[in-house]
Amino acid sequence: MSSFKGNALRGTFFLIFGLGWSVKYPLKYLRYSASYPHLEGKNMICICLYCLGMLAEQFVPDGPHMGLYSGGTYSWEKLTNWQYTTMYLFYGLSGIVDVLSYSPLKLSLGLDRLLLSVAMFTEGFLFCFHDYNNTALDQHLHSLLLIAIFGGALCALMEVFLRDHTILEFFRTSFFILQGSWFWQIGFVLSPPWGGPGWDQTDRGNFNFLTMCFFWHYAAALLVTAANSVFSYWYVVGRGLLENKRSD
Amino acid sequence: MSSFKGNALRGTFFLIFGLGWSVKYPLKYLRYSASYPHLEGKNMICICLYCLGMLAEQFVPDGPHMGLYSGGTYSWEKLTNWQYTTMYLFYGLSGIVDVLSYSPLKLSLGLDRLLLSVAMFTEGFLFCFHDYNNTALDQHLHSLLLIAIFGGALCALMEVFLRDHTILEFFRTSFFILQGSWFWQIGFVLSPPWGGPGWDQTDRGNFNFLTMCFFWHYAAALLVTAANSVFSYWYVVGRGLLENKRSD
Amino acid sequence: MSSFKGNALRGTFFLIFGLGWSVKYPLKYLRYSASYPHLEGKNMICICLYCLGMLAEQFVPDGPHMGLYSGGTYSWEKLTNWQYTTMYLFYGLSGIVDVLSYSPLKLSLGLDRLLLSVAMFTEGFLFCFHDYNNTALDQHLHSLLLIAIFGGALCALMEVFLRDHTILEFFRTSFFILQGSWFWQIGFVLSPPWGGPGWDQTDRGNFNFLTMCFFWHYAAALLVTAANSVFSYWYVVGRGLLENKRSD
Amino acid sequence: MSSFKGNALRGTFFLIFGLGWSVKYPLKYLRYSASYPHLEGKNMICICLYCLGMLAEQFVPDGPHMGLYSGGTYSWEKLTNWQYTTMYLFYGLSGIVDVLSYSPLKLSLGLDRLLLSVAMFTEGFLFCFHDYNNTALDQHLHSLLLIAIFGGALCALMEVFLRDHTILEFFRTSFFILQGSWFWQIGFVLSPPWGGPGWDQTDRGNFNFLTMCFFWHYAAALLVTAANSVFSYWYVVGRGLLENKRSD
């Protein structure tokens, strides 16, 4: 599933989280005294999403179907799918800790952000050490993605120590949206949905354009995050839902 | 516009900001209680500068004139100009946030510095991933520039958390002046204004000299920043304009 | 001793420390008011472990037996064993400072963590600069190990400034367990105990699988650390040993 | 002066500073209320040392004697000496700021440490970008040196924000002593004072041994720093010179 559908699935996955956070954090910021009985349920949905991701990577028609080593050919099977399964596994672990942090277990504050950071660093290192065997454009696209991944991972790591920091949450949200839209871009570049081959892997112009394009995606991600913040603010304030005005 | 004029324009752009800050921050520090009705106007001038930069990169005689892809030759057009346009775009975004942070919109404190940091990291990564196709001296000059860019970006990022820190502002200002003067140096080295070819791209002596030269530029940038601070101090104190003596 | 036994010894060494910490830190956290007359004794045991490690690296049958330079062949002798001896030496220094920090010498608070960090950075740089002469898989396995080493070193360094931070201690513990289990994995991959050659050094599938495998080890290390924390908590609370409930 | 004498001079220079600090900081820590009328004088001596270093690099018999470009051969002259001159220049700037920080000029607190950090980063980048034209052992020795340089630079940078932090001062001092002793080692390896060629540039054993040797130097540097701290403590306490017992 290194084809268009796989990248679209991953992109959608990150976009859901990014866009969800871009609404959740401004709301949290505006009504921080309200109780959240429904949030645990939302986190359960997240964990289901991670599980769906893992199952999709494993059981698509050309997936490994839980087979890791082929005794016949003495070779590893469908390692790319397994790597994405590993990626979803770590996001799943972070989701479980997220749910537990609302439970009466009294976890150390910040453990949820630490696990999120670990999940993103794991994703980043998996891409770093991935073997792109001579598909230079493929490698270039994922190198750019690393900026978004490690950027987000560093944000989450800093949030362990600087909890509920508005700027860090804004920054991390924008990196998630960037990651989501860039996975879609990767899908369109490497295996267009309308068939035909991907872009020319040897044309240096493609490399330069995609570098620039990545930062246009980021400008768009920043605008979307900002627009959602403003929209959430106006929605709450305009409808008189605001209970506690921010006091800093 | 990868010629002398383009580099001179970029150099001037960064020098204006660097030198402006080298006067602005000491003044802010000396008269921090004064109101600043005129600052918003100054920030508007900044945004105009960014727009001028973008227009200059696009509409110089040998620029892309907003054309990105040539259907005739099936190739990307004038990508270097587009990359500089992207750079100015991000500085423009940071300028807009800067203006908004003086408005009654109640932006999160530090968002202006975050966007400035994002603009500088974007500039740095654009140079990192740029394709210098075998012009080793060109690459060396821009590698040195990266020290100034990422140094400034890290300063701005730290200012998100340590706001109004004199040392960080001093440091960031010196990196901007360094960037400005180094763009001029790049212009002189790669395409001298008096015509003729640039410096020899294969002579290793040139590489070693320019490495050293970069740090001489930095020594000069530090001296200029320090001199402007002292000058601002004496100007305000000597003319009796000082209202609140610094109290730390 | 670059064979299975050596890697197993190193792995066991790190596992003992990691597993010990995974029990020690939750206990410290639960009963922080209790006196620790017996801890100095435990640290003495640590120092003995370091000394044993150094002796084992030197005096195994195919070890250097304290000989560093062979005058006969004009070449350095058994440098790999010497490098591991150096590694144990730095851990030994950190252990001595650890013991001294419980003495009435009034060491600066945090010096023990600094020395631990120095020991881990030393280990990391020794692997970085090691010469793997064309054994690419060997290098890949140790590159992955570097993530665990430098991760742990950064944790210890941050603990100099953020002392007794639960999350950092949890994180560092998990990196030590990861290091321990990965040394065992290295042993099994490069020189299986049941004889025969190690894995194919040229099959790219092995590289991709081991990258993924490393993160499975880390998921397991996280689970073990978490399980030990929960077990320690239940052991103390269930047996009524808890004196001071945590108050944050 | 890339010969033994040059490296010995640089080594001595860093050893003087490192050993001086290893005595100065414990004394400062013990008698922090005492006045320091004599310290400015000591800093003046430092500046003289920097000037002497610059003059020595320029006016040794085989030095450039202030000539930078040879019109005859159209090539740069003695760039290595010029690079060390640049290094001393930045240390000189940091020394001047150090003196000024004791003057009534009211410099921002931390500017002296910032300039020291800038000087060390400059030194590090000069070595990074240096052209070692195929002398791999030379490059390896200086790569190891970079650990000491950047380690010290990061310490000094953190001291801008965490002033008078005992651990950071201890750490920075040990890195300076390491740098000093390693310059001596470089001298002995590349151009032994008893004549004859340097070590074999192609023997991989030399590389592995020197990596290890670097960390032995560091273990020694740590021991020397610790011993000087203990000695200073006993000297002051034993002679009844202690006025204010430390109170943290």
Cβ of D205 within 8 Å of Cβ of C130? The answer is no
Confidence label for A209 from pLDDT (cuts 50, 70 and 90): very high
Identify the top-confidence range among A216-230, C40-54, D28-42: A216-230
**What percent of chain B clears pLDDT 70, i.e. is strictly above it?**
91
Task: Identify the residue with better confidence: D103 or D142.
Answer: D142
CA–CA min distance A175, chain B (Å):
12
- In tens, the pLDDT along A77-93 reads 888 889 999 999 999 99
Cβ of D212 within 8 Å of Cβ of C83? The answer is yes
d(CA B76, CA A209): 7
Q: How is residue B184 written in tokens?
A: 């001029």
- Cβ–Cβ contact B90 with A under 8 A: yes
- Cβ–Cβ contact A136 with B under 8 A: no
Nearest CA in chain C to A105: C230
Residue in C143, C144, C171 nearest the CB of A114: C171
Strands A75-76 and A69-70: antiparallel
Chains in touch with A (3+ beta-carbon pairs under 8 Å) read B, C
CA–CA min distance B89, chain A (Å):
9
Q: How is residue B112 written in tokens?
A: 């202006």
- Cβ–Cβ contact D111 with B under 8 A: yes
pLDDT above 70 (res C242): no
Confidence at residue A194, expressed as pLDDT on a 0 to 100 scale: 85
pLDDT above 80 (res B120): yes
Q: What value does the mean pLDDT take over residues D168-189? A: 94
Task: Identify the residue with better confidence: A239 or C4.
Answer: C4
Residue in C143, C171, C208 nearest the CB of A79: C208
d(CA B108, CA A248): 10
Strand partners, B70: B75
Q: How is residue D231 written in tokens?
A: 């000695």
Confidence label for A65 from pLDDT (cuts 50, 70 and 90): confident
d(CA B18, CA B216): 17
Confidence at residue C116, expressed as pLDDT on a 0 to 100 scale: 94
Residue A69: its H or E element: strand A69-70
Q: Is the predicted ipTM greater than 0.85, yes or no?
A: yes
Confidence label for A172 from pLDDT (cuts 50, 70 and 90): very high
Rounded to two decimals, what is the model's pTM?
0.90
Q: Do chains A and D touch (3 or more CB pairs under 8 A)?
A: no
Confidence at residue D39, expressed as pLDDT on a 0 to 100 scale: 55
- Cβ–Cβ contact D129 with B under 8 A: yes
Residues 50-69 of chain A whose Cβ lies under 8 A from any Cβ of chain C = 68
Task: Identify the residue with better confidence: C108 or B210.
Answer: B210
pLDDT above 60 (res B38): no
Residue in C82, C122, C131 nearest the CB of D204: C131
Q: What is the rounded average pLDDT for all residues in chain D?
A: 85
Cβ of B86 within 8 Å of Cβ of A216? The answer is yes
pLDDT above 90 (res B123): yes
Confidence label for C2 from pLDDT (cuts 50, 70 and 90): low
Nearest residue to A9 (alpha-carbon basis) of A73, A64, A54: A54
Query: Which residues does chain D have within 8 Å of residue B140's beta carbon, measured at their own beta carbons?
Result: 129
- Cβ–Cβ contact D212 with C under 8 A: yes
- Cβ–Cβ contact B167 with D under 8 A: yes
d(CA C88, CA D140): 24
Angle CA D131–D133–D134, to nearest 5: 135
pLDDT above 70 (res D64): yes
d(CA B165, CA B154): 14
Confidence at residue A244, expressed as pLDDT on a 0 to 100 scale: 46
Q: Are the C-beta atoms of D214 and D140 separated by less than 8 Å?
A: no
Alpha helices in chain A (DSSP H): 4-30, 39-59, 79-100, 111-128, 136-161, 166-190, 204-238
d(CA C182, CA C193): 15
Q: What value does the mean pLDDT take over residues B85-91? A: 93
Q: Coil, strand, or helix at residue D248?
A: coil
pLDDT above 50 (res B61): yes
**What percent of chain C clears pLDDT 70, i.e. is strictly above it?**
91
pLDDT above 70 (res C167): yes
Residue in C147, C205, C222 nearest the CB of A79: C205
Confidence label for D244 from pLDDT (cuts 50, 70 and 90): very low
Q: What is the rounded average pLDDT for all residues in chain C?
A: 85
Query: Which residues does chain A have within 8 Å of residue C229's beta carbon, measured at their own beta carbons?
Result: none
Nearest residue to D106 (alpha-carbon basis) of B248, B68, B42, B207: B248
Confidence at residue A135, expressed as pLDDT on a 0 to 100 scale: 83
- Cβ–Cβ contact D234 with C under 8 A: no
Identify the top-confidence range among A48-62, C183-197, C228-242: C183-197
CA–CA min distance C29, chain D (Å):
23
Phi-psi region of D106 (alpha: psi -120 to 50; beta: other; left: phi over 0): left
Cβ of B162 within 8 Å of Cβ of D161? The answer is yes
d(CA C54, CA D167): 28
Strand partners, D70: D75
Residue count of chain D: 248
Task: Identify the residue with better confidence: A40 or C44.
Answer: C44
Report CA-CA distances (Å) from B155 to B117, B183, C2, D120.
8, 20, 45, 17
Confidence at residue C247, expressed as pLDDT on a 0 to 100 scale: 40
- Cβ–Cβ contact C175 with A under 8 A: no
Q: What value does the mean pLDDT take over residues A36-55? A: 74
- In tens, the pLDDT along B92-103 reads 999 888 888 877
d(CA C148, CA A125): 12
Size of interface B-D (CB pairs under 8 A): 58
Residue C70: its H or E element: strand C69-70
Confidence label for C240 from pLDDT (cuts 50, 70 and 90): low
Cβ of C129 within 8 Å of Cβ of D211? The answer is yes
- Cβ–Cβ contact A162 with B under 8 A: yes
* Amino acid letter, residue A204: R
Confidence at residue D15, expressed as pLDDT on a 0 to 100 scale: 94
φ, ψ of residue C203 to 5 degrees: the values are -75, 115
Q: What is the rounded average pLDDT for all residues in chain A?
A: 85
- In tens, the pLDDT along C58-117 reads 888 778 888 888 778 778 888 888 999 999 999 999 988 888 887 777 777 888 899 999
**For chain B, which residues make up each domain, given as ranges?**
4-238
Q: Are the C-beta atoms of A110 and A161 separated by less than 8 Å?
A: yes
Cβ of D208 within 8 Å of Cβ of C79? The answer is yes
Confidence label for B33 from pLDDT (cuts 50, 70 and 90): low
- In tens, the pLDDT along A129-146 reads 988 877 889 899 999 999
Neighbours of B51 (CB within 10 A): 14
Phi-psi region of D110 (alpha: psi -120 to 50; beta: other; left: phi over 0): left
Confidence at residue B114, expressed as pLDDT on a 0 to 100 scale: 93
pLDDT above 70 (res B48): yes
Q: Are the C-beta atoms of C181 and C157 separated by less than 8 Å?
A: no
Identify the top-confidence range among C220-224, D21-25, D94-98, D191-195: C220-224
Q: Do chains A and C touch (3 or more CB pairs under 8 A)?
A: yes
Alpha helices in chain D (DSSP H): 4-30, 39-59, 79-100, 111-128, 136-161, 166-190, 204-238
pLDDT above 50 (res C248): no
Nearest residue to C225 (alpha-carbon basis) of C179, C172, C156: C172
Confidence at residue B62, expressed as pLDDT on a 0 to 100 scale: 78
Residue in B140, B215, B222 nearest the CB of D86: B215
- In tens, the pLDDT along B63-82 reads 888 888 887 877 888 888 89
Cβ of A216 within 8 Å of Cβ of B76? The answer is no
Nearest residue to D189 (alpha-carbon basis) of D197, D178, D180, D181: D197
Chains in touch with B (3+ beta-carbon pairs under 8 Å) read A, D
Q: Do chains C and B touch (3 or more CB pairs under 8 A)?
A: no
Confidence at residue A89, expressed as pLDDT on a 0 to 100 scale: 93
- In tens, the pLDDT along D102-117 reads 777 777 788 889 999 9
Confidence at residue B171, expressed as pLDDT on a 0 to 100 scale: 92
